[in-house]
Amino acid sequence: MTKRAQKRVMREGAFDAGQFDHRGGAAVDDKIRRLPLNRTGWSPLSRDDHDPTREQGYLKTIKAKSDGQAQLMKAVDEKNLVLALGPAGTGKTYLAIAKAVEALESGSVARIVLSRPAVEAGESIGFLPGDAEDKLAPYLRPLYDALSDRLSMKRVRSLMAEGMIEIAPVGFMRGRTLNNAFVVIDEAQNCTYVQLKMLLTRLGWNSTMVVTGDPNQSDLLQGISGLADVADKLETLPNIAVVRLADRDIVRHPLVAEMLGVL
């Protein structure tokens, strides 16, 4: 008997081919091996659906890693319009999209609308080939990344094909009314005051809108970004939440907080 066969006997017990023959003769296929007799853990033959050792499904839950993030998540649950302002790495976009996916999966909304200004970060990338979707893909890539982290890319593509997830630049939002939707406006510091006013007034019935951005990292010329002014004015309204995240809420590499403290 080979070592491999000996290990199999120790693991599974002695193999009796006759046990598979219901006619009392030799087994039809002598290569069939039974499952180990002394198994531990969940068995597919078990009828106990409440077996605590069985993993029923995979669910990636989001948890606040700071007081600021907890405040943001609570505000999204309670208000229809939330402005999340803070430095890079505080999880503004990720939490907003995670909440959007959560609302879509639970049936609270019928679709997700993600919008972002198509502004180059301080450099010109020149002419991009392809149709409108191909030209805008580099600008909207961060939204795809956040979506794919919450859903598989196959599911994202399927939902986009069905119109349940829409990703569009700010320029395509004028004239629309977004009912029964979860709307996320990302990188709002690259929007002018007029653009933000237009975006905020797209809010329709049974909809939630989250606007994220860092007023200190605008790619527009100084004084053109309207995020800070809009936040200051809307903060006085009781039905709108303005959450201001700080360096202590940064959840990226610790060096990010250190760098932002001196830059």
Give the C-alpha separation, 44 to 41, whole Å: 10
pLDDT in tens, 15-56: 555 555 555 555 455 555 555 555 455 455 444 444 444 444
Query: Is the CB of residue 216 less than 8 Å from the CB of residue 245?
Result: no
Q: What is the pLDDT of residue 64?
A: 87
Domains and CATH numbers, the chain: 1-57 (no CATH), 67-262 (3.40.50.300)
φ and ψ at 147, to 5 degrees? -65, -45
φ and ψ at 203, to 5 degrees? -60, 125
pLDDT in tens, 91-112: 999 999 999 999 999 999 999 9
Query: Is the CB of residue 26 less than 8 Å from the CB of residue 1?
Result: no
pLDDT in tens, 162-206: 999 998 888 888 899 999 999 999 999 999 999 999 999 999 999
